[in-house]
Structure 1
Amino acid sequence: MKKISLWLFGAIGIYFLASLWLFNRVYSTTKLVVDEEFHLRQGLHYCHGNFSVWDPKITTFPGLYILSTLILMPLHLCETYFLRMVSLLASILNIYWMYEIRKSILPAKEWKKSPSWGLALDALSVSLLPPMYFFAFLYYTDIASISATLAMFNYSLKNSHKLAATAGSVAVLMRQTNIVWVGFILGLNVLDKLVAKAPRKKSKKDQKFAYSIHDIFNAVRYYLKKLSSGNIKWFLVIIEQFLPYLVVLVAFLVFLYINGSIVIGDKSAHEATIHLAQIGYFSAFVAFFSSGFVLTQFKEIDQILLKRRYILLLLGIFFLLAVEFNSVVHPYLLADNRHYTFYLWNRILAKPLMKYFAIPVFMFGAAWVLEMLEGQSAGFKLGYLVCTAVSVALQSMIEVRYFLIPYLILRLTHTKSFKLNGLAVEFAFNIAINAATFYIFFTKTFFWSNYTEPQRIMW
């Protein structure tokens, strides 16, 4: 155990030293980046004890500002530098959560394949995911939101459900959409428990508890019979065991009823909209940032696609209909040239035929998502696919930050250890993309008429 801790400590140390240099470079370059205009101002108000002040442009709960205040106010460090440092510290904590989740997910047989330093490299490589890593240097809600969500997932895997629900409530305070993942954890745990207690045939080859759709249907029939006979003891046991998650969900439903919307503040800019093309964009995101593993399994790609040919045919039809009839174009996407998505849309996806050429990429990405889910129970697969669809397809704006949590859950819960060459390619790929994006951020500037500071391009 000491050996594993040393490798993890080393990975965190390398990450911190390299990131601190980059953090200071970002800070010396600019003190205000895009939405920090609102977040920094609000964070400073809270840190100075001005809790009655609220910027109506902010649409998320004040979780980030409360966290910053709890850390910085007692130390009298209410400055932009230290507010941003909260994100960097949260990103370091994320390496620990990633490491622990990988440990919990890997079956015993996979543990033997993965040396202790391999798990540390695994966590370090994921922590450098470019669209996530970039925000470790800014005062945005994303990194703290991810940290709380990963903590919830980690504690849930260890059956510490009170701690998991507490972390889930913090995640929701960071970003309201994280309620979807609280629901995922609750639903998965309940289904796992019900199927485990219902009569089922289990193969001797099973190394971990995994079940099929057939097992779910059997469990439904089993508990319906119990209900019809007046037996609700099992139901009360489930409620008692997973009550902490229910409290979080019920509290959020009360908020929805009172507020009338999932967002606070400026509701017009973030209205819930069905945007099915987002599922395709997420699939492409997965394919792009998993390219290291795709390349190492290049010889098996034809098998991966062939065994899912019928599903891929249906997905192709779905994506064709989605891009033709449900490609939503948010006004910010057309107006804000400080984001890569602006250029991706205006120079590629907005072209008449390009959205159709993108469909094969969407299909391949979706096939890779299904491949990454191999080894999981039917409950996990169904829950993940539904919650991912809900979390991305109700967003009108194309924003890569919306893809981070579903991608991380997919990447971290893969039930096989990754080959060293795959991790090495992913690690190098992430570093190369990060180097390119920060080079652009530092060197490419332009001016907006209503801002004195130069504007920069970011994720």
Structure 2
Amino acid sequence: MGRLVVAAAVAAWAIPIAAWVDSVVPDPYMDEIFHVPQAQRYCRGDLLTWDPMITTPPGLYYISLAYVAALFPGAWATKVADALEPLCTPALLRSTNVIMAVVCGVLVHDLLLCIKPGISKAKATVYAILVALYPVHWFFTFLYYTDVASLAAVLAMYLYCLKKRFWVSAMFGVISILFRQTNAIWMLFFAANGAITYVQDLCHSDYVSHENNGLTDKSITEVSDLANKATAPGLRRRRKDRSITMKRVVSGSTKLHTSFTEEISDISFGLWNSKCKVLITFTPFVIVLVVFVAFIIWNGGIVLGAKEAHVVSPHFAQLLYFGLVSSAALLPWHFTPRRVSDLFRLCRKNKTFSLLAMLMALGLSFVAVHFFSIAHPYLLADNRHYTFYIWRKVIQAHWMMKYILIPFYVYSWFSVINILGKSQTRVWVLSFIFSVALVLVPAPLVEFRYYTIPLVILILNSPVIDNGKLLALGSVYAAADLFTLAMFLFRPFRWEHEPGTQRFMW
């Protein structure tokens, strides 16, 4: 029932708004000027011509082609190239993402029930609708971009990995990479943590089997007890220690580990002892990774086109931007008086460590902002993005502003790490941070669309909040959505072209 409610709620606003957007903005908009003609080439049956300005693989065009063919099976059955081309209008191509937005909502609902078994279906439904309203995701539901379909594929990959259907998960991993190459990082993240969970389950099975054998075989137990009492106190102690270690590995909870190194050692021990089983079980992910690396070597880089505008860069400030944007987008989790007081109270428990961590974080953030903050030409040229105004009106308002924001970056990341640590292991949190860095740091362009997937993963793995906070955040999202829609529909842009420049003006 929850799935139907989510699908109906998302479709109820997505379909009429999509129709309205198509009536007001019927022509390709922003990067649609590249994506729509490329999809229309595929509709003509021309699968070999490629626009050199497109950086992502053709996954979106394949999905759209299948979608149009499913809507008009008669056209597909007759003459594909001639019959499908007139049907691939911008409006119909955009509707691909409306369908994908509904799928995303349903996947978020199912993921929450899988990740948080104690959550009610009603709460999972509210969460799924909240994610559908997230402004960046919501806006690109109505345009022909890769983001919504990419998110749907990543969420499907995550869900099937949690369900231990690894071949299906790897298949969705391939599909997600066909939408956006950086999704290979999320495939590795899910597979790595899936392998850890798999090993913990194996240890749990062995432990339970050992305990059951000890309880059922009474005669052996009695003999063992007599022998232990007589001659082997050291053996009893070793068995007790082994039992504690097994419980640690089984649990997967940081609360049973006294240190991070202990957690690492337990996981490494489990992975090494079960290495053959792990390699066999996770073979599909290994195959996808090998093929992806071969593609990068053959292609000479990770992007397909416009390579000169998407050169891999050490953009470490990007990681700081994500921390602040994601914590601001999840305001009830991170920016409340109670949350601030909780963090300060936590720091006071271990003043020395907290002070050193804070000084190190501030120092590294200063280095990232001062030496590794990049202003991409696309960021400065196109005023149809919020990042254009944030960069000019906030970060560049004064030379000190980018340094004033450093404490907010540090606080945001401390809060994110602390929140995730309440429901996930230290290794999971560290691997998540590392994955976010691999996705964002090489990207020279500051673009909020790149933050959507890790932000949704944050929502899925953060502690559940009460209905009042959810309602308040949903109201903020809805207001931001309406504002963005009004700016988009009622303040049209005009194209101004000067030699050597491409600028959009009000």
Normalising by structure 1, we get a TM-score of 0.89
Map of 1:273-422 to 2, 5 A cutoff?
A: 273-294=313-334, 297-308=336-347, 309-310=354-355, 311-350=357-396, 351-373=398-420, 374-414=422-462, 416-422=463-469
Which AA in structure 1 matches 2:482?
A: A
- Structure with bigger helix share is 2
Which AA in structure 2 matches 1:68?
A: S
The Cα shift of 1:246 comes to 0.7
The answer to whether structure 1 residue 61 and structure 2 residue 57 are counterparts is: yes
The answer to whether structure 1 residue 189 and structure 2 residue 189 are counterparts is: no
Map of 1:425-436 to 2, 5 A cutoff?
A: 425-436=472-483
**Residue 400 and residue 241 in structure 1: after superposition, are their counterparts in 2 closer, same or farther (change >3 A)?**
same
Name the structure 2 match of 1:231: none
2-structure distance, mates of 1:365, 1:271 = 28
- Whether contact under 8 Å (1:333, 1:341) holds in the other structure is yes
The Cα shift of 1:208 comes to 5.8
1:255-304 C-alpha deviation (Å, 9 max, x unpaired)? 01111100112211111111110111001111210113345x53232222
The Cα shift of 1:433 comes to 0.9
Higher relative contact order (CA 8 A, sep 6+): 1
2-structure distance, mates of 1:250, 1:330 = 32
**Residue 18 and residue 313 in structure 1: after superposition, are their counterparts in 2 closer, same or farther (change >3 A)?**
same
Name the structure 2 match of 1:138: 143
Q: How many residues align?
A: 435
2-structure distance, mates of 1:312, 1:306 = 14
2-structure distance, mates of 1:163, 1:220 = 26
**Residue 10 and residue 395 in structure 1: after superposition, are their counterparts in 2 closer, same or farther (change >3 A)?**
same
The Cα shift of 1:450 comes to 4.4
**Residue 118 and residue 27 in structure 1: after superposition, are their counterparts in 2 closer, same or farther (change >3 A)?**
same
Q: Which sections of structure 2, spanning at least 5 residues, go unmatched?
A: 73-83, 204-241, 348-353
Map of 1:134-173 to 2, 5 A cutoff?
A: 134-173=139-178
Map of 1:78-89 to 2, 5 A cutoff?
A: 78-89=88-99
2-structure distance, mates of 1:223, 1:411 = 28
Work out which of the residue numbers 13, 18, 23 in structure 1 matches 2:8: 13
Which AA in structure 1 matches 2:319?
A: I
1-structure distance, mates of 2:247, 2:266 = 19
- Whether contact under 8 Å (1:272, 1:394) holds in the other structure is yes
2-structure distance, mates of 1:441, 1:455 = 13
Name the structure 2 match of 1:118: 123
- 1:448 is paired with a residue whose SS is strand
Name the structure 2 match of 1:261: 301
Which AA in structure 2 matches 1:32?
A: P
Normalising by structure 2, we get a TM-score of 0.81
The Cα shift of 1:436 comes to 1.1
- Whether contact under 8 Å (2:113, 2:121) holds in the other structure is no
Name the structure 1 match of 2:244: 201
**Residue 306 and residue 397 in structure 1: after superposition, are their counterparts in 2 closer, same or farther (change >3 A)?**
farther
- 2:167 is paired with a residue whose SS is helix
Give the RMSD, CA atoms, in angstroms.
Answer: 2.4
1:297-325 C-alpha deviation (Å, 9 max, x unpaired)? 53232222442544333222211111111
The Cα shift of 1:243 comes to 0.6
Name the structure 2 match of 1:220: 268
- Whether contact under 8 Å (2:249, 2:267) holds in the other structure is no
1-structure distance, mates of 2:251, 2:486 = 45
Q: Which sections of structure 1, spanning at least 5 residues, go unmatched?
A: 227-233
2-structure distance, mates of 1:240, 1:206 = 21
1-structure distance, mates of 2:111, 2:41 = 36
The Cα shift of 1:223 comes to 6.3
- Whether contact under 8 Å (1:293, 1:426) holds in the other structure is no
**Residue 367 and residue 456 in structure 1: after superposition, are their counterparts in 2 closer, same or farther (change >3 A)?**
farther
- Whether contact under 8 Å (2:153, 2:175) holds in the other structure is yes
2-structure distance, mates of 1:105, 1:193 = 15
Identity %: 28
Name the structure 1 match of 2:221: none
Work out which of the residue numbers 37, 42, 53 in structure 2 matches 1:41: 37
The Cα shift of 1:197 comes to 5.0
- Whether contact under 8 Å (1:42, 1:54) holds in the other structure is yes
Which AA in structure 1 matches 2:341?
A: D
The Cα shift of 1:449 comes to 2.9
Which AA in structure 2 matches 1:307?
A: L
2-structure distance, mates of 1:132, 1:423 = 17
2-structure distance, mates of 1:15, 1:208 = 37
2-structure distance, mates of 1:314, 1:435 = 41
Name the structure 2 match of 1:176: 181
1:174-193 C-alpha deviation (Å, 9 max, x unpaired)? 00010100111121122333
